[in-house]
Chains A and B, each alone.
Chain A
Amino acid sequence: KAGVTQTPRYLIKTRGQQVTLSCSPISGHRSVSWYQQTPGQGLQFLFEYFSETQRNKGNFPGRFSGRQFSNSRSEMNVSTLELGDSALYLCASSAGSQLTGELFFGEGSRLTVL
């Protein structure tokens, strides 16, 4: 069974640009969550999508947005990039169980903002 696939794995952008990251969940998984990992702030929850609906959202500015398609694939977008947006962005998928479902993480997309 294929795991969670994130693309691109690495990318470099400049301040003010925008970026779109993609996540393909494990087949059959309907929930996709996004996390930002930085050395200073650690792992922080961005948002979660389930059946194309945003189910939960973290404390990030509106520049961070996401969506989920009918095939459960998800994208996140960051507009007007800032230096502080440099991070590893991790996507996780789950079968959707509220209480005990395991989250499976992808290898991440490493974004560098210059």
Chain B
Amino acid sequence: GNSVTQMEGPVTLSEEAFLTINCTYTATGYPSLFWYVQYPGEGLQLLLKATKADDKGSNKGFEATYRKETTSFHLEKGSVQVSDSAVYFCALRTTSYNQGGKLIFGQGTELSVKP
């Protein structure tokens, strides 16, 4: 079946450090891939997405590239800020008919950035 595996957290970094959160997936066909962020006490916000192989999603300094050969979608940021502290979720959505609203999420990775 379809699944998403994320690196376990929590991840603690100092401000301006480089961030990588690993995400790999298992899926049939050609899924769309997403990173969502959840700040404390809030719902999920879409951070970035990629819908086909070799696409690079980017937003707010975060980037992730859809790698079909390694079934990965790792999240990176060159210089994190304290305000980036949140839980990050990798997710996929299959292209099967009538699966439009169904996202499959990884377990989430908590990021804590210290000043």
Contact = CB atoms under 8 A, between A and B. Distances in A.
B99 to A, nearest CB: 6
Contacts, number: 69
Interface in A28-78: 31-33, 35, 42-45, 48, 50, 55-56, 58
A-side interface mostly: strand
Residue from B36, B42, B99, B101 whose CB has the most chain A CB atoms within 10 Å: B101
Interface residues of A, number: 30
B100 A101 contact: yes
A103 interface: yes
B100 A42 contact: no
B99 A56 contact: yes
A50 B95 CA distance: 17
A48 B43 contact: no
B105 A31 contact: no
B100 A90 contact: no
Contacts of A35: 103
A107 B98 CA distance: 25
B46 interface: yes
B32 A103 contact: no
B23 to A, nearest CB: 14
A98 to B, nearest CB: 4
A100 B32 contact: yes
Contact of A105 (B32, B41, B45, B97): B45
Nearest to A100: B51
Contact of A107 (B42, B101, B103): B42
A90 B43 contact: yes
Given A56-B99, A98-B97, A45 B104 contact: yes
